[in-house]
Structure 1
Amino acid sequence: MVTKVVDLRSDTVTKPSDAMRAAMAAADVDDDVLGADPTAQRFEAEMARIMGKEAALFVPSGTMANLVSVLVHCDTRGSEIILGDTSHIHIYENGGISSLGGVHPKTLPNNPDGTMDIDKIVAAIRHQDGALYYPTTRLICLENTHANCGGKCLSVEYTDKVGEVAKSHGLKLHIDGARIFNASVALGVPVHRLVRAADSVSVCLSKGLGAPVGSVIVGSKAFIDKAKIVRKTLGGGMRQVGILCAAAYVGVRDTVGKLADDHRKAKVLAEGLKKIKQFTVDLTSVETNMVFFDITDPRISPDKLCQVLEQRNVLAMPASSKSVRLVIHYQISDTDVQYALTCIEKVVEEILSGNVKLEHLTNGTTANSYGH
C-alpha cells in the first residue's frame, strides 16, 4: 500500500528537490531590481543561450510572462492579437491583456492538435484600410505544448509557417511555451530550433521542470529591455531573486532529461485507464505528460470521482463536466502510476455500488478548478 499522496493534479505541484534547496541556500544574491543579482544574471544568460535568443528575463509566473510579452509587442492600446480559442492566455489568465493592456483578442478555433489553420490566421489579419474601424493586428500567439488539447506538441514546421505569416505581414510571434521542453523532448527537436521563428517565448520553470517558482521570457535584447520595464510596472520586480533562479537552474539542469520518462508513464497511465469500461481514452492524443479521459457513465461525475480518490491519497482534477485530467511529473514513480490505476478502478466500483461516503476534503479538487 502506498501511503504517500500521489498528486496528479498538475506538474505544478512538485516539491523542491534536495539539490534545489541546497542551491537556494548557497545562492550568491544581490538586488535584481538594481540589476545586481549575479545568480539571476547567470541564469538568464543561460536560458537565453538554451533558447537561442539574445536575452532573457525572470518573472514570478507564467501568467505575468505572457502578459508582459503581449504588452511589449502591443504597446498601443487598441492593438489586436490572434490566438486560439482554447489557449491559456485567452481562457485562464483573467483577461489581463484586455483589462490591463487594452489589447483585443481575435480568437480562432484550436484544432485537436493545438494548431490554428494557417489560412484562418491569414484571413484574420486586419488590413490597414480598415484602421478607422478595426483594431490593428500586431501579434500572433501560439501555445506549445497546448494544454487544453491534451498536451499536444506543435511541430517546428507548423511554427515556422506561422512565423513566416507573421513576418510577411509585419507582425510579431509569441509562443506561450509553458511546457516547451516537453514538446522539444517529445518531438526530438532542440528547443532553440523549435522556437526559432518566435520573437518572444515564455517558459514556465515550475511545471515540468519542477522549480518552485517562476518563468522566463526570452527574446531580443531590445525586447527584454522593454519587458523589464513592464515587469516592474506590474509589480514583478523582485530583489534577491537569485534564490529562486538557483532552484530554477537545477530544474533545467536535472529535470529536462527526465521528461521522456514522464511521457512514458503518461502512456502507461492512459493504457490502464482505457481498460476501465466506464472511461474513454484516446491513446494517440497522449504525446507528453498529460492524460485526459472522458467518463461515459452518467452515474459517475468528475467531481465525485476526484473527491473519492482523494480519500485514497490520489489527487486528480476535473477537466470539464465529463472529463478528468491527470498530469505526470518527475516526482511520480511507476509504482505511483499503478497505485493510482488500482485506486481509480476501486473508486469506480464503489461509486457504482453506491457504497461511497464523502468526507470533508481540503485540496480543492472540485468544480471550478479546471485549467491549471
Structure 2
Amino acid sequence: MRIDLRSDTATRPTARMRQAMADAEVGDDGFGEDPTVNLLQERCAEAVGKEAAVYVASGTMANQLAMLVLARPGHRVVCGQGAHVATKEAGASALLGGLSFTQLATTTGEIPAEVLSAALNDGGPPVDLIVVENTHQSCGGYPWRPEALAGLRAGADAARVPVYMDGARIFNAAVATGVPVRAYTDSVSALMFCLSKSLGAPVGSVVCGPASFVGEVRERKLQLGGGWRQAGVLAAAGLVALEEAPGRLHEDHATAQQLATGMASISPEVTDPDAVRTNIVFADPSPLGASAQQVAARLKEAGVLCKAGRTRLRLVTHRDISPADIEQCLAAWSAVAKQYTARSRAVA
C-alpha cells in the first residue's frame, strides 16, 4: 500500500490526458507558435475573466515572474502570515527581484482593511504589491470570502497598490464557498493558478491578467530560460484538467473531511474537522506524545505519505485518493496512535 497525501501534485495523468498529450498539435512556444499552448492560455484567461494568460512551469515560477513585473527591487510586498511567496519563495524573491515581505497576522489568510492600512503606512520601505493567497495553504486551505477580498481591494485601490492573487487552488476556494471563480478574480489585478495541484495536470501553472502585464511576464519568462518549445504535449493535459477537474473538487473536500473526522475520532485534539474547508488537513500529533517527524516516519512505514512541518502534519487529498484509501489511512493512523499512547502510559 502506498497512499500519497503529501500534496495534490501527486496525481498521475488520466487516460484522457495521456491520449491528449499523444495527439497534441505542437509548435515552438518560444516564438508563440504552439497552437495547443495558445489554446490553453486563451481558455485559462477566459476561465478567470482576464484578458490574457501565459503558461509556465510551476506556481513558484508564476509568482516570481508576476512579482518581477509588479514590484521594484528594494521595495516591499505585503501578504498574510505564512504565505507561500514569503516563506517557500522568499529566497527566490530576494535573489531575483530584491524584494522583502511584510507578513500580516491572520488565522484564515484574510487581511482586514484596517490591518492592511496600518501596514501600508508603517514608515517602512515602499509597498509595491499586495499578495493574497487563495486558498491560504498554511491556514488549512482556508478560502477567502469574496466580500473580504473586495474590501481589501478597495483599500488597496485607495492606496494605489495593485493586488495579485496566488490562486494556486482558486478553484477549490470557489467550490468551497459556492461562488464563481470570477467572484474572486474580479477583485484582483492579476493572478496565477496551478494546473498541477488540485486540477490534476502533470505540469504547469498560468499567470493571468491584462494583456500588457502578461506580455511583460512572457518577456521575463524567456529571459529566465522559460521558453517551452513544443510544450503542447504538456498543455494538452492542462486543457483536459481545466475542463474536467473543477466539477469534481467537492470529492476531494469530502475525503479531506472524512480524514479529519476520522482522525479526530481516534485521537481527539489532534485535528479540528470544522477547520477543514477544502482539501488540506493539518494535524498536531503532540497530544500523542510524539513529534510530527516521528509520526510521519511511522505512517510512511505503514504506506501513508504526508508532510511533516515543525509541529504539524499536512495531509492533502486529491483525485487519486478515494474514500477507501482514507479508510486505510485511518487504520494506519489508529495503529500509530495506539503505539504512542501505550508508550506514554508506560512512561507515566
**TM-score, normalised to structure 2's length?**
0.95
Q: Is the 8 A contact 2:111 2:152 kept in 1?
A: no
- Residue 45 (1) aligns with residue 42 (2): yes
Give the one of 120, 132, 155 matched to 2:115.
Answer: 120
Partner of 1:100: 96
2:159 pairs with 1:169: yes
1:8 is aligned to 2:33: no
Candidates 196, 199, 220, aligned match of 1:209: 199
Per the alignment, do residues 231 and 63 of structure 1 end up closer, same or farther by CA in structure 2, a change over 3 Å counting?
Answer: same
Deviations 1:201-256 (A, max 9, x none): 11011110011111000000000000001111222221111111111111111111
Query: Deviations 1:297-316 (Å, cap 9, x if unpaired)?
Result: 36322212111212221111
| Equivalent-residue separation in structure 2 for 1:163 and 1:299 (angstroms) | 44
Deviation at 1:126, TM superposition (A): 4.4
After TM superposition, the runs of 4+ consecutive aligned structure 1 residues lying more than 4 A away are none
DSSP-derived class of the 2:29 partner: coil
Indicate if the aligned counterparts of 1:273 and 1:279 stay in contact, CA closer than 8 A: no
- Offset of 1:166 from its aligned partner? 1.5
CA distance in 1, matches of 2:286, 2:127: 42
1:278 is displaced (CA, Å) by 5.9
Correspondences of 1:61-72 after superposition (within 5 Å)? 61-72=58-69
Matched, 1:135 2:132: no
Task: After superposing the two structures, state which structure 1 stretch, 82-91 or 217-226, moved more.
Answer: 82-91
Q: Which has the higher helix share?
A: 2
Task: Give the percent of matched residue pairs that are identical in Structure 1 and Structure 2.
Answer: 38
What is residue 321 of structure 2 aligned with on the other side? 332
C-alpha displacement at 1:183, in angstroms? Answer: 0.2
Shift of 1:192: 1.7
What is the CA distance between 1:104 and its match in structure 2? 2.5
- 1:95 deviates by 2.3
CA deviation vs aligned residue, 1:44-103 (integer Å, no higher than 9, x gap): 0000001000000001010011111111111x3222211122100000114222221122
1:187-206 pair list within 5 angstroms: 187-206=177-196
1:296 and 2:289 matched:
no
Q: Please identify, of 295-304 and 263-272, the stretch whose mean Cα deviation from structure 2 is larger.
A: 295-304
Query: What is the alpha-carbon distance in structure 2 between the residues aligned to residue 333 and residue 98 of structure 1?
Result: 40
Q: Distance in 2 between matches of 1:234 and 1:294?
A: 39
Report the counterpart of residue 83 of structure 2 in structure 1.
87
Q: Secondary structure at the match of 2:266?
A: coil
Report the count of equivalent residues: 343
**Contact map agreement 2:136 2:143 (CA 8 A) in 1:** yes
| Structure 1 unmatched ranges of 5 or more | 355-372
3-state SS of the aligned residue for 2:245?
helix
- In 2, the alpha carbon distance for the partners of 1:192 and 1:223 equals 19
Question: Does the 8 Å contact 1:126/1:135 carry over to 2?
Answer: no
Q: Does 1:275 align with 2:265?
A: yes
Equivalent residue letter for 2:78: I
One-letter identity of the residue aligned with 1:339: Q
Question: Residue type matched to 1:343 in 2?
Answer: A
Q: Who is 1:367 aligned against? A: none
1:157 pairs with 2:154: no
- The residue correspondences of 1:241-252 to structure 2 (distance < 5 A) are 241-252=231-242
1:219 corresponds to: 209
CA distance 1:137–1:297, shift in 2 (3 Å): closer
Give the AA of the match of 1:327.
Answer: V
Which residue, 180, 186, 190 being the options, matches 2:170?
Answer: 180
Deviation at 1:353, TM superposition (A): 4.3
**Residues 80 and 135 of structure 1 are in contact (CA less than 8 Å); yes or no, is this contact kept in structure 2?**
yes
Q: Kindly report the root-mean-square deviation, in angstroms, between the aligned alpha carbons of the 2 structures.
A: 1.5
Tell whether the 8 Å contact from 1:278 to 1:295 is kept in structure 2 after alignment. no
Q: Distance in 1 between matches of 2:168 and 2:296?
A: 25
Residues 100-126 of structure 1: CA distance to partner in whole angstroms, max 9, x if unpaired?
Answer: 1122222211x2111123212112214
Whole-angstrom CA distance in 1 between matches of 2:302 and 2:142: 30
Letter in 2 for 1:350: Q
Q: Note if contact 2:26-2:35 (Cα within 8 Å) is conserved in structure 1.
A: yes
For 1:120 and 1:299, how far apart are their aligned partners in 2? 37
Q: For 1:19, what is the secondary structure of its paired residue?
A: helix
Tell me how far 1:352 sits from its aligned partner: 4.1
Unaligned runs of 5+ in 2: 344-348
